[in-house]
Structure 1
Amino acid sequence: MGEGTFGQVLECFDNEKQEVVAIKIVRSIHKYCEAAMIEIDFLQRLARHDIGGIRCVQIWN
């Protein structure tokens, strides 16, 4: 889907959920990994307040 400074985003198909998803791959550079961890924390905080999961990007693990 795209490529940037921190890595790239791939469009994939989740066979289990039968839907298109985006997977973000972060380059293995310490400062980029730190930024990714901050992004993960931020998305988790947003998700706690997004009832129904319809207003923001969802993070799955």
Structure 2
Amino acid sequence: MIGKRGKLSLRLFAVFMSAHLVVIPAAQAAENIYKYIDSDGILYFTNVPVASDYHVYV
């Protein structure tokens, strides 16, 4: 039988692992986002700038 201390440890472990499932993918996805406005005023966002007119947005 699991005592109170064991249940608390299991709960903390579950919270710790759940947090890692959220934080690690978010950190890997944190790349630059580039913005470009063309001559017609259309706004473009991309993660791969294809011209020197793109500027880092985020």
**TM-score, normalized by the shorter chain, greater than 0.5:** no
Bigger strand fraction: 1
Bigger helix fraction: 2
User: Greater Rg, structure 1 or structure 2?
Assistant: 2
TM-score by length of structure 1 reads: 0.36
Relative contact order, higher structure (CA 8 A, sep 6+): 2
